[in-house]
Structure formats: structure tokens, C-alpha cells
Amino acid sequence: MTVDFNSTLDTQQSQLPLEVWAGLECTVNRVGDKYFDQLERNGHATRLDDLELFAQLGIQAIRYPVLWERIAPNGLENADWSWPDERLGRLRELGIRPILGLVHHGSGPDHTSLVDPDFPEKLAEFARAVAERYPWVTYYTPVNEPLTTARFSGLYGHWYPHGRDDLTFGRALLGECRAIALSMKAIRQVNPNAQLVQTDDLGKVYSTPKLAYQAELENERRWLTFDLLCGRIDSNHPMWEYLQICGFSEAELGWFRENPCPPNIMGINHYITSDRFLDENLENYPAWTHGGNGKDKYADVEAVRVCLEGAAGPRTLLKEAWERYKLPLAITEVHLHCTREEQLRWLYEVWNAAQSVRSQGVDVRAVTVWALLGTYDWNSLVTRWVGNYESGVFDLRSPTPRPTAIAKMVRDLATGNQPDHPLLEIPGWWHRQERLLYPAVSCGEIVSGGNAKISNISVSSAPLAIVGARGTLGRAFARLCEVRGIKYRLLSRQEMDITNQDSVDAVLAELKPWAVVNAAGYVRVDDAEHEPDVCLLNNTEGAANLATACARYNVPLLTFSSDLVFDGTVTNPYRETDTVAPLNVYGCSKALAEKLVLKVNPASLVIRTSAFFGPWDDYNFVTIALRQLSAGNTFTAADDSIVSPTYVPDLVHASLDLLIDGESGLWHLANQGAIAWADLARLAAKTAGVSVSNLIARPTRELGFIAPRPAYSVLGSDRGELMPSLDNAMSRYFDELEKL
């Protein structure tokens, strides 16, 4: 199917249903002489099949990159159009409107920059070439977030040309906005129907009374992209004097009044942390938040972390933008770096905010699900390549992009269906008490995008049933559900005996949980050799009883298995499809449990894991080793048994995300790394600064174990490597211990 996109927007379009758009993080930013390319990092540069996955979401439009730096780094005469030719053609066949981005947080090829006087004309030349090659494309964003990019490149020094002054900021912003106007002029000479979808972040700033002058400046400055393009800036504009300081001449500002280029759609890119709070009381905040303006020193923190009333939220910003410009609006980026349920809650809140203001007459056209493939290293503002990955609608840690729970929500929204995940009934962290990290203050008129007051978890929402109240894993699930805002019920054996089918049925009928986590079971590997019936009853029959009941009540089940289902005769990490061959009773009980659970309830999620360590119990290997070595006692560990240790908090978080995503079948989850038990003790001791002189390494056969163990039981995965490295986990283990 080929679709003609040349029809123009009209007033009737505002009466159509709210559209679902999407976008993929595609920043190509420059730091010094290095270009950081998100399309290379996320693999979309070489995966045409991604477009089929995007189409399955039911989206109507996609913000899509045809980036100057990628297509014509060495001039138009040497441009390579093969990549956009193939992909734009496929989008057209799939019926998805592309909104073409030409510069996304970038500064152009290395022969130009944001402060190059010729940057606008050079980008306009590229824009004309794009329009000539793709005359059927109607929607354009020549420069993404001009104000944000100018701030990061000209005021804060993060990106090229690394300015830290108002003059560089002003030159960058002027160049970007001129480039937008000239680019659209060039595009419209080819396609008169071309539409400008102009994006920027409109986050608000709040402050103490002393710093009200700085907040006022920043709250006026946030509109500059749109005020310039709409030709609104003259000598009566509140920012006139500031713009003079930034190096704008009257003639330069007058050019925008003579050549207005108002957006056809204003795109608002809003994040929970976009709203800021300024406070001169530095002692209340960590040093990394401290800054200033040359006149006053102050901390700059997320408003949601300090303001009693919460953050302004999307509803407030949409209404402000509409009242100021009366232009059609879209939310052009919705993304949250957080756990899966919080990502769902944020998207749903933004969607509902857009629907709400539409009902009040505000012309909102679309909500854009951002970061289809996730993002890389935005926790450091893409100033270095570390590999910090945030998943999005799809998770790239699997061999092919794996749809997350967000994908289902997007499909629901795009098809007019009501999202119904029970976790949506619980307020996001930005509405809960724990959001306040600093002394709370009143920030005035803030009206939150969802619920302004600090909310508690809904008492009416269905809980997550966690079986295994006495065990390390069950307690960890309860602890992290508390942190994540997931209502739960931690069940002891007295409350639910999984070896008794009637007990299981009764509890499920009463609780009506949205899912069940089986963290119970028999864990004494050596004792199991002497009491196999007890081990099998708890690990095998109990798990099968739960699976049977969950199938009957149509409740998702998450249960755990072990690396001890393998015999250790290989030297490469075990995958989910490898044949099980347990050496001991405990391993047999887990292998049989896997088989029975998936037979009676194929929708179950069965996670194999290995060698727990964590900060919240005193009886795991790492904690015991450190306690003994720190006390000057000897500690003996095997030097010939290779495992993949699992940091319990990582395991719980990854398991919950998979459960929420609706995954099923066998998964392997362990931190990435293979290590002998003795070397694990050395690693922990070295990280803690503890002497290993009393560590004794011995072959496994000399340690007196009753149950035979595999010499190698490292877990890998064909389904997805979701867990961080062992070194990373060990570092966070000690960070968490310091908080206790």
C-alpha cells in the first residue's frame, strides 16, 4: 500500500481522534571531535526490519531521522541517500507518515557548527535536497529542540562548541532558528504543502523568593524558539534586553519579524525532570547540584523532588502553550527512564492529560511515544560512551528488538482501546511521598499533570502475591515492590501452603492478585540428598500446584529454577534450550518443576538463576566471605567450580519487568560474568579493601559437600542479556550496604 501524504492540515483535523505518533532516539551530537550516533548504538542504522515492528504498533506518524551529519558529512555532492531511500520508501508502503528530522541535537558536519554564520544557509541547502528527493513527504522538523541544544552547547558546555556564556548560547539559538525558517522556505519551494512540526522542551523553573529573578528569566527564555519563529520579538518583548546581551542585533531580531515561520504544529517534549527548582540554601543539596549565575550561587534540582505541589505536568504546559500561541499542539516526546510500570504510568498520564485539555477546546493532535528502541548514555547527557542503556517500547538486549509492555499500551491507544494493566491504578513515583529528596517547600501555583497531592498506593488495586515470606528472594521482592510502588501481599507458608492445592485456590480466590511470584521452596542442596521427598514436595509439587491454580484463575505466574539443572560438562554458558541433566536431588526437583509448570500452564514465566548475593541478608556467600575475612578468620572456597553470580536486586527488577511485559517460558537471569567461588570472594574483598590473606582456595571435592555440583554452571541467554556485569553489580552491592 502506498499512501499520499500531500493533504494539508485543516481545522477539522482537530476534531479527529488523538493520534499516536512515535519516534526513535536518533541524536548525533558532537563532543570535541567525536560524534556520538544513537542510530549506530541502537542498531537501527542496519536493521530495516525495525520498521515492520513499528508498523505493528498501529502508529499514524513517526519522527524519523534524515540527518545532515549522516547523509552528507562531506557535502551534498558526496551525499549518500541509500539509507533514507530504502527506509522512507518502506514507511510510505506501511502507511506511516514520516516527520523528517534533519538535525537532532547535532551541530552539522564538521565543516560547520551552531555558531557558524553560514550554518542556516548550509542547512537550508540540505533541506532543499531532501525535499527534492522526497517530494511526497509533508512534515519536517529541521532542527530538534533548538533552545535545549543551544543551552547544552552554548551555556553549559556539554556539546560542541562547548560554550559557557550567553553570547555562544545566543549565536547558537539564532543560527538554529534562522536555519529552521530558511529550511522551511527551501522545502516549501519544492513542496508548498510542507508542514513545520517544531519541537522544544518547555520545562518550567521555580525558585525561592531570592532567586525569583532568575526563575522569571528562565521561564521567559523557554519560549524563545517559538517567539522567534512566530516573529513576536520586538523592543517590548520581556527578553529584549537579555537578547541584546546574547549578541542579537536589532537587525537580526527584525529578520524574524520580517520572515516569520510559525509552526504548523508546536511539539512539546516534556520530561518529569524538565521542571526545575532553584535554591540558594546550598547546604540542603549535594555538591553536584550547585551552580550559579555570576550573581548568586544556588542549587538547581528537579522541582518534583522538592515542591510540595508536585511538578507542573503536561496538562499545565499544553494549556500554557495554547493560550500563548493558539497553534495546534502535539506532545512530541514521551519517555521515562525508570521501571516498566512507571514508564506505563507516565505514558498513560500524558495521554490522559492530552485528552483532558482537548475536551476543553485545546487543539492537541498527537502524543508521541519516544525512544522506540530506548536510549544510550543519556544519564551523562551523551557526553561519553559508557553503554548505559534505557529500554523503551522495545528492548534491545534481546537478539531482536523485544516488545515490552509499553508496546501493548501503544497498540491499545492507537486502536482506541482502554489500557487495563492493574499497575496503572497506582500513582507514579512523581506523585508518591518518596519523590521528595530534599526539604519540601511550596512552589505556588503548580497543578500536577495527574494528581497534585502526594498519593498513596491505591487500596483497591489488585496486589502482586509473593509466596515465600521467610526467604531471601521473597523478602527482596517485597522490599523492591515497596520502592517501585507495586502493591503486594507477602505470603508465609501459614497463609498459603503451595503443597496444598486447596490452600492455593482459596488464597487466589480471596486476593484476586494480578500475578503470583513463587519465591518459596526448599533450598538446602546437601540436605536434599537425605530428604528427597521433602525437596520434591516443596520445589516440584508446590510449583505445579501454583501453576495449575494460576491457569485456572488466568493469573500470570513467575517461578524460579536453578543453574543446578545442568551437569557442568560444557565450557560455554548454558542457554535456555540446552538439555538439562541435574547431578543432585535439588537440581532434579527444579528440572522436574520446570517441566510440570510449563506443561500445566505454558504461559508461566520460569527464570533460572544462580549463586545469589545481596545486601539485605546475612547468609549469602559474598556477605559471609567478607564477614569472615574482615574478622581475620580463614574462609575456604572452591577454586574449580565456575558460576555466574546473581545480584538479588538486579534479579528482582529484571524479573518484575519481564512479568509486567507478559513474557513466558524459560529465561536465564544472572549477572554477566563467569567466576570461581574463590575468585568471587577475592573480588568482593578487593572491592571492600579487605585482605585476602586468610582466603583458602580448594578443589570442590575437598570441601565436604554431600550433593555433587557441576564444575561449570554459568548461565547465558538466547532470549536476552538483561543483567548488568558482575563488576557493576558488586560495586552497587557495596553502595547499598553503605545506605543500611
Q: Final residue of a domain: which of 420, 435, 450?
A: 435
Same domain for 369 and 489: no
Of 432, 416, 551, the C-alpha closest to 487 is 432
Instruction: Answer yes or no: is 5 within a domain.
Output: no
Query: How distant is the alpha carbon of residue 604 from its chain centre?
Result: 25
> What pLDDT was estimated at residue 459?
58
- Express the helix, strand and coil content of the chain in percent, nearest 5 each: 40, 15, 40
> What pLDDT was estimated at residue 10?
44
Higher pLDDT, 269 or 444: 269
Please give the backbone phi and psi of residue 368, each rounded to the nearest 5 degrees, phi first.
-105, 115
Q: How many CA atoms lie within 13 A of 621 on its CB side?
A: 23
> What pLDDT was estimated at residue 9?
42
> What pLDDT was estimated at residue 38?
96
What confidence tier does 309 reach under pLDDT thresholds 50, 70, 90? Answer: confident
Same domain for 427 and 570: no
Using the predicted structure, report yes or no on whether residue 449 has a pLDDT greater than 90: no
Query: How distant is the alpha carbon of residue 445 from its chain centre?
Result: 29
Instruction: Answer yes or no: is 64 within a domain.
Output: yes
How does pLDDT run across 154-177, given as a tens digit for each residue?
A: 999 999 999 999 999 999 999 999
> What pLDDT was estimated at residue 73?
96
The residue type at 339: T
State the angle between helix axes of 166-190 and 119-133 in degrees (0 to 180), rounded to the nearest 10: 30
Using the predicted structure, report yes or no on whether residue 311 has a pLDDT greater than 70: yes
Q: SS3 for 404?
A: coil
> What pLDDT was estimated at residue 661?
97
Same domain for 174 and 29: yes
Same domain for 106 and 62: yes
Tell me the catalytic residues: 586
> What pLDDT was estimated at residue 151?
95
How does pLDDT run across 546-604, given as a tens digit for each residue?
A: 999 999 999 999 999 999 999 999 999 999 999 999 999 999 999 999 999 999 999 99
Same domain for 491 and 358: no
- The whole-chain average pLDDT of the chain stands at 93
How does pLDDT run across 186-237, given as a tens digit for each residue?
A: 999 999 999 999 999 999 999 999 999 999 999 999 999 999 999 999 999 9
Q: SS3 for 735?
A: helix
Q: Which three cell numbers stand for residue 275?
A: 521542571
- Using CA atoms, how far apart are residues 558 and 549, in angstroms rounded to an integer? 13
Same domain for 534 and 389: no
> Going by C-beta distance under 8 Å and a sequence separation of 6 or more, which residues neighbour residue 668?
574, 575, 576, 607, 608, 609, 715, 716, 717, 719
Same domain for 102 and 153: yes
Q: What is the CATH number of the domain that holds 417?
A: 3.20.20.80
Portion of the chain with pLDDT greater than 90, in percent: 91
Query: How distant is the alpha carbon of residue 256 from its chain centre?
Result: 38
Domain total of the chain: 2
| CB count in 10 Å sphere of residue 439 | 10
Instruction: Answer yes or no: is 629 within a domain.
Output: yes
Instruction: Answer yes or no: is 349 within a domain.
Output: yes
Q: Residue 369: beta bridge partners? A: 22, 334
> What pLDDT was estimated at residue 457?
56
What confidence tier does 451 reach under pLDDT thresholds 50, 70, 90? Answer: very low
Instruction: Answer yes or no: is 608 within a domain.
Output: yes
Instruction: Answer yes or no: is 13 within a domain.
Output: no
Using the predicted structure, report yes or no on whether residue 676 has a pLDDT greater than 60: yes
Using the predicted structure, report yes or no on whether residue 149 has a pLDDT greater than 70: yes
What confidence tier does 612 reach under pLDDT thresholds 50, 70, 90? Answer: very high
Same domain for 475 and 327: no
Using the predicted structure, report yes or no on whether residue 2 has a pLDDT greater than 90: no
Q: SS3 for 401?
A: coil
Residue-by-residue DSSP string for 576-601: TTSPP--SSHHHHHHHHHHHHHHHH-
What confidence tier does 246 reach under pLDDT thresholds 50, 70, 90? Answer: confident
How does pLDDT run across 86-136, given as a tens digit for each residue?
A: 999 999 999 999 999 999 999 999 999 999 999 999 999 999 999 999 999
> What pLDDT was estimated at residue 455?
47
Instruction: Answer yes or no: is 507 within a domain.
Output: yes
Is the alpha carbon torsion for 37, 41, 45, 51 positive or negative?
negative
Same domain for 99 and 221: yes
Using the predicted structure, report yes or no on whether residue 8 has a pLDDT greater than 50: no
What confidence tier does 642 reach under pLDDT thresholds 50, 70, 90? Answer: very high
Same domain for 103 and 174: yes
Same domain for 112 and 196: yes
Of 466, 514, 524, 463, the C-alpha closest to 493 is 466
Higher pLDDT, 116 or 443: 116
- Using CA atoms, how far apart are residues 600 and 352, in angstroms rounded to an integer? 39
List the beta strands (DSSP E) in 379-482.
389-390, 394-395, 402-403, 464-467
Least confident range from 59-63, 120-124, 414-418, 453-457: namely 453-457
> What pLDDT was estimated at residue 312?
77
**Count of residues in the chain:** 740
Q: Final residue of a domain: which of 435, 450, 478?
A: 435
Geometric angle at alpha carbon 104, from 101 and 105, rounded to 5°: 160
The residue type at 596: L
End-to-end CA distance of the chain: 60
List the beta strands (DSSP E) in 370-508.
375-376, 389-390, 394-395, 402-403, 464-467, 488-491
3-state secondary structure 358-386: HCCCCCEEEEEECCCCCEECHHHCCCCCC
Instruction: Answer yes or no: is 159 within a domain.
Output: yes
What confidence tier does 391 reach under pLDDT thresholds 50, 70, 90? Answer: very high
Question: Range of 673's domain?
Answer: 464-739
Q: What is the CATH number of the domain that holds 709?
A: 3.40.50.720
Q: Give, in order, the Cα–Cα distances in Å from 354 to each of 30, 182, 198, 324, 691.
A: 34, 31, 18, 17, 59
Same domain for 474 and 403: no
What confidence tier does 446 reach under pLDDT thresholds 50, 70, 90? Answer: low
- Using CA atoms, how far apart are residues 614 and 473, in angstroms rounded to an integer? 10
